Amino acid sequence: MKTTFLIITTIGCFALGILDVIQSAKLKDEKHQLEVIKQEYQNLSERLEKQTEAIENVKSVEAKAQILQKTLHESATATIAESKKVEKLQASLDQAKTNNPFHAVTDMLKDPDMRKMVIDQQKIAMGPILEKQYGDFLKQMNLSPEQSAAFKDLIVKRTLAGTDVGLAMMDDSLDASQRADLAKKARDQTAAVETEIKQLLGDNNYQSFQNYEKTVADRTTLSQFSDQLAGSPTALTPEQQSQMIQTLGDARSNFKWTSGLNDGNAGADGNIAGILTEDRMAKFIADSEQFDQQVLVKVQPILTAEQYAAYQKFQKQQRDLQLVGLKMARQMFNSGAK
The CA distances from residue 338 to 101, 169, 182, 275, 330, in Å, are: 19, 11, 15, 14, 14
The Cβ-side half-sphere exposure at 117, using a 13 Å CA radius, reads 9
| pLDDT of 161 | 77
pTM: 0.63
| pLDDT of 275 | 77
| pLDDT of 337 | 43
| pLDDT of 187 | 85
| pLDDT of 288 | 93
- Chunk the chain into consecutive blocks of 10 residues (it has 338) and report each block's average pLDDT, rounded to whole numbers: 50 52 52 62 62 54 54 52 54 49 60 75 80 87 90 90 73 77 85 94 92 90 92 94 93 88 63 78 91 95 96 93 81 56
| pLDDT of 84 | 57
Residue 114's contacts (CB-CB under 8 Å, 6 or more residues apart) are 108
How far is it, in rounded angstroms, from Cα 332 to Cα 330?
6
How far is it, in rounded angstroms, from Cα 252 to Cα 291?
8
Give the 3-state DSSP-derived string for 101-142, with helices as H, strands as E and coil as C. CHHHHHHHHCCHHHHHHHHHHHHHHHHHHHHHHHHHHHHHHC
How far is it, in rounded angstroms, from Cα 263 to Cα 259?
9
| pLDDT of 176 | 77
| pLDDT of 266 | 59
Is residue 41 packed enough to be buried (19+ CB in 10 Å), middle (13-18) or exposed (0-12)?
middle
Are 130 and 60 spatial neighbours (Cβ–Cβ below 8 Å)?
Answer: no
| pLDDT of 174 | 74
Question: What b/e readout covers 78-101, taking b as 16+ CB neighbours within 10 angstroms?
Answer: beeeeeebbeebeebbeebeeeee
The Cβ-side half-sphere exposure at 199, using a 13 Å CA radius, reads 8
The CA distances from residue 19 to 45, 101, 108, 116, 328, in Å, are: 38, 7, 11, 18, 10
Are 329 and 12 spatial neighbours (Cβ–Cβ below 8 Å)?
Answer: yes
Are 172 and 335 spatial neighbours (Cβ–Cβ below 8 Å)?
Answer: yes
